[in-house]
Amino acid sequence: MDYSPLVQSSLIFSHIIPPILAFIGIIIIISGILGDNNRNTILGILIFLIGGLSPFLILPLILG
């Protein structure tokens, strides 16, 4: 089956990028908590939230 580029791009932004960002955010949160580094903890939380909210912000722009 050949999928359109629109379907492929929506799949990337809805199912691939958010889990990667969430995983990186969790790793940074853990390293910030274990190292008593508040900047890394806050950065990890922000990356995790961006990973969670990105499909709701990017997909309406792509799909119209």
Q: Do 29 and 41 contact (CB within 8 A), yes or no?
A: yes
Structure pTM?
0.84
Per-residue pLDDT of 16-41, as tens digits, reads 999 999 999 999 999 999 999 999 99
6: amino acid identity, one letter: L
Which helix (H) or strand (E) segment is 15 a member of?
A: none
Query: Domains in the chain: how many in total?
Result: 1
Biggest CA-to-CA distance, the chain:
50
Given this model, what pLDDT does residue 29 score?
A: 97
For 16, the domain range is 5-63
The reported pLDDT for the residue numbered 1 is: 67
